Amino acid sequence: MGMLPFDVFEQIINRESPADIVYEDDNYIAFRDIAPKANTHVLIVPKGPGLVTAKDAFEDNVNIFGGLFLVANKVADIENLEGYKLHMNVDEAGGQIVPRVHFHFLSSDYESPL
């Protein structure tokens, strides 16, 4: 499956599509994945436009990427998880489907092939 031609996360951010929101602030939104791969599977998404893949990381926006890690810690607290896994698919060749940077926050029961 290739990358979607539209940003479904934008629809969630704008409340045009429903989502089970776990955490939200002015800059990020975190919501449960509709096809979970673990007992806890939350997507952490920056709200601002322009970041399609991690290849769009530059010195002037690196704080956005750091914020993803801070939100992951908040999600862990909300979900009462001591440990967790973060996964990011980068670009279509890396398995990315939605054209917006995001983390997959997964509980430790997720079995990674690593």
Architecture of the CATH domain 8-106: 2-Layer Sandwich (3.30)
Bridge pairing between strands 41-46 and 103-107: antiparallel
The tens place of each residue's pLDDT in the chain, 114 residues long, gives 788 888 999 999 999 999 999 999 999 999 999 999 999 999 999 999 878 999 988 899 999 999 999 999 999 999 999 999 999 999 999 999 999 999 999 999 998 776
Q: 0.85 cut: is pTM over it? A: yes
Domain map (residue ranges) of the chain: 8-106
What is the C-alpha separation between 23 and 67, in angstroms, rounded?
A: 13
Catalytic residue numbers? 102
Residues 6 or more apart whose CB falls under 8 angstroms from that of 45 comprise 9, 12, 13, 28, 29, 30, 31, 100, 101, 102
Bridge pairing between strands 84-87 and 41-46: unpaired
